[in-house]
Amino acid sequence: MDKILIYLKKIIPKSIFKFFQPYYHKALSYVADFFYCKPSNKLIVIGVTGTNGKSSTAHLIAKSLEAKGDKTGETSTVFFKVGDKEWLNDKKMTMLGRFALQKILKQMVKEGCKYAVVETSSEGIKQSRHLGVNYDTVVFTNLTPEHIESHGGFENYKKAKLKLLRHLERSKKKKIGGKRINKTIVANLDDKHVKDFLNFKVNNKIGVTTKDGKNNLTENILKAENIKLTESGTSFEVDGEKINLKLVGEFNVYNTLLSIGVGVQQGFNVKELKIELEKIKGIEGRMENIKEGQKFQVIVDYAPEPESLRQAYNTILKIRKKENKVIHVLGSCGGGRDIARRPVLGSMAGKKADYVIITNEDPYDDDPMEIIDNVAEGAIKEGKILNDNLFKILDRREAFNKALTLARKNDIVLITGKGSEQAMCVAHGKKIPWDDRMVVKEELKNIKK
């Protein structure tokens, strides 16, 4: 179908193509749904949207809903999961194309899954990929400026997200196992845009918070208390249950609360969900600690935009000792999008890290050195000095090696931008196999020789 779209772009005048493109996208979503026999009507579908934390939240939901032995499915930036089979997302897409999405939902039905957790991106919504999916619950994580250039401004970006809630509101209720499934919103009450995401007529609204928990936005509120962060995990209490996560960072409190909100709405109690959540050792490429016997920490995180990077730094600076250095390897959000973000990321790294190493990431058809220079401008404005505590290294592997060579006992090497992605996107649509976590392990072995 993508080939058809490319062909049509070539033969149809640009203005006419742009006019009909939205209708083409919508029609394709419904065709794909029909072609695969409407699989989402046979699953309890949970959509996860927002800016940050979508993938982690989706994974926590999928895992925790297995508490009573039910099979779950998941599609996210990090994972694909169909029942007992789970594998890393190698498509370089957060939300699959219409036919691929419907196909995996059909596979979930075939494997006897009860739940499907679908990370739903603004780009996917913009292209109407959500329309062929009958969602039952939508989870809202948070909203910060991202993909602004693609959407033509923050308000358009927010409107794209809100389309998913409108779709939920208008979707027909389904019956599964003779039971009617309610439409539900689970939302982060501490986000300043939450009112917009709760302003829809659904059966249930559940809010999560780490603050006072007093508001009239939702019928039910889950509040995290006694939050404690360490370099090996995070703990907090909710509804009298203490939850000890092996996941690092306060943002994982929100992700976990949202997953508990979904579970509670599905009839689980917090104690049942806690058992499954505490089993999770980590989420690939999300504040993942790489250990190969070295005397310093290496953390690989996705953090492609300012808010997620701010959260990563909040966590790191809380767990590091003052005398130890932070060495940050970063690129930018990639070529062809959100150019204004590049110096902002560079500035954040320049301000927070002791050493900044800027390297190639996903340049697509852009000049990778131009991207690196854009990011470096931000770091230089924060006082970093080129070839002293700021380095521009085009080859990403070499950049890793430089960071690991600079590191001393108890220092922290932070590598951001790709997380567990399985490819690097370069010019002419080419994808180079790549995994930050595997490459850093290889380089750790090399520096020991």
- Between residues 10 and 288, which one has the greater pLDDT? 288
pLDDT at 168 exceeding the cut of 90: yes
- Smallest CA-to-CA distance from 210 within 159, 151, 271, 258 is with 258
Length of the chain: 449
For residue 4, is pLDDT > 80? no
**pLDDT of res. 8:** 60
Alpha carbons within 13 A on the beta-carbon side of 90:
8
Region 396-410: what's the mean pLDDT?
Answer: 97
Average pLDDT, the chain: 92
pLDDT tens digits, 62-119: 999 999 999 999 999 999 999 999 999 999 899 999 999 999 999 999 999 999 999 9
CB 228 within 8 A of CB 247: no
According to the model, what pLDDT value does residue 19 have? Answer: 63
Q: What is the 3-state secondary structure (H, E, C) of the chain?
A: CHHHHHHHHHHCCHHHHHHHHHHHHHHHHHHHHHHCCCHHHHCEEEEEECCCCHHHHHHHHHHHCCCCCCEEEEECCCEEEECCEEEECCCCCCCCCHHHHHHHHHHHHHCCEEEEEEECCHHHHHCCHHHHCCCCEEEECCCCCCCHHHHCCHHHHHHHHHHHHHHHHHCCCCEECCEECCCEEEEECCCCCHHHHHCCCCCEEEEEECCCCCCCCCCEEEECEEEEEECCEEEEEECCEEEEECCCCCHHHHHHHHHHHHHHHCCCCHHHHHHHHCCCCCECCECEECCCCCCCEEEEECCCCHHHHHHHHHHHHHHCCCCCCEEEEECCCCCCCCCCHHHHHHHHHHHHCCEEEEECCCCCCCCHHHHHHHHHHHHHHCCCCECCCEEEECCHHHHHHHHHHHCCCCCEEEEECCCCCCEEECHHHCEEECCHHHHHHHHHHHHHC
Predicted confidence at residue 299, as pLDDT, reads 96
Amino acid at position 346, single letter:
G
Of 384 and 232, the structure prediction assigns the larger pLDDT to 384
Residue 288 confidence (pLDDT) above 90: yes
Determine phi and psi for 225, rounding to 5 degrees. -130, 160
Q: How much is the pLDDT for 149? A: 62
Residue 320 pLDDT level (bands cut at 50, 70, 90): confident
**The pLDDT value given to residue 298:** 97
Give the up-direction half-sphere exposure of residue 256: CA atoms within 13 A in the CB hemisphere.
34
pLDDT of residue 332: 83
Q: Can you tell me the mean pLDDT for 3-7?
A: 60
Q: Please determine, for residue 433, whether its predicted confidence score (pLDDT) is greater than 60.
A: yes
Crossing angle of helices 368-381/341-352, nearest 10°?
50
pLDDT for 449 equals 55
- Distance, in Å, from the CA atom of 145 to the CA atom of 328, rounded to the nearest integer, reads 23
Please say whether the beta carbons of 112 and 70 come within 8 A: no
What residues pair up with 184 in beta bridges, in sequence order?
137, 204
Q: Give residue 203's pLDDT.
A: 96
- What would the two tokens of residue 423 be? 């490819």
Q: Which residues of 336-355 are buried (b: 16+ CB within 10 A; e: fewer)?
A: ebbeebbbbbbbbbbebbeb
Can you list the domains of the chain with their CATH numbers? Answer: 2-277 (3.40.1190.10), 288-448 (3.90.190.20)
- 117 forms bridges with which residues in the sheet? 46, 74
The pLDDT score that the predictor gives to residue 213 is 62
Which amino acid makes up residue 359?
T
Bridge partners, residue 328, by sequence: 356, 414
Residue type present at position 249? G
Alpha-carbon distance 414 to 298, whole Å? 6
Note the pLDDT tens digit of each residue in 13-52.
666 656 666 777 899 899 999 999 999 999 999 999 999 9
pLDDT at 145: 76
Instruction: Burial-class residue 58 by CB neighbours within 10 Å (0-12, 13-18, 19+).
Output: buried
- Contact, 414 vs 301, CB < 8 A? yes
301 pLDDT tier (thresholds 50, 70, 90): very high
CB atoms within 10 A of CB 80: 19
Q: Residue 143: CB partners within 8 Å, gap ≥ 6?
A: 50, 51, 158, 161, 191, 193, 197
Cα–Cα distance measured from residue 38 to residue 35, given in angstroms and rounded to the nearest whole number:
8
